[in-house]
Copies of this chain bind each other. A is one copy, B any other.
Amino acid sequence: MGLTKSENFTNQQNELANIAKALGHPARMAIVDYLLTVDTCICGDIVNELPLAQPTVSQHLKELKNAGIIKGSIEGNAICYCIDENTIEKLKSYFDNILSNLEKRKSTCC
């Protein structure tokens, strides 16, 4: 049917999968990349940077925000979007963990 209940998995698995899923689209990676290049995060021009229509970009921003990857604050007329460091830290430490785990039992197989 196409629906696995999230109760079947751990909180960490669900949470990280959610973050990864949000990054799992080139347009959203491009948005993250772009946010890293701009000094001030008043970012109304993300739309101009991407080959996508404004509603599409808005939707992608929403998903990044829901996943906690970016946060936005109202700045008068515009909206200030920027990367949420905490979420990136979370990802980094997860992968760090995997790597140190792999180091421990090096060369057992494959």
Residue positions of A touching B, CB distance < 8 A? 4, 6, 8-10, 12-14, 16-18, 20-30, 32-33, 36, 39-42, 50-52, 71, 73, 80, 82-83, 85, 88-89, 91-92, 95-96, 98-99, 101-102, 105, 108-110
Would B82 and A109 count as touching, CB distance under 8 A? yes
Would B25 and A21 count as touching, CB distance under 8 A? yes
A95 touching B98 in the complex, CB below 8 Å, given contacts A28-B17, A30-B9, A110-B71: no
Complex: how many Å from CA A12 to CA B32? 12
The 8 Å CB contact of A17, one of B8, B26, B85, is B26
Identical copies in the complex: 2
Complex: how many Å from CA A25 to CA B83? 22
Q: Which chain B residue shows the least CB distance to A18?
A: B24
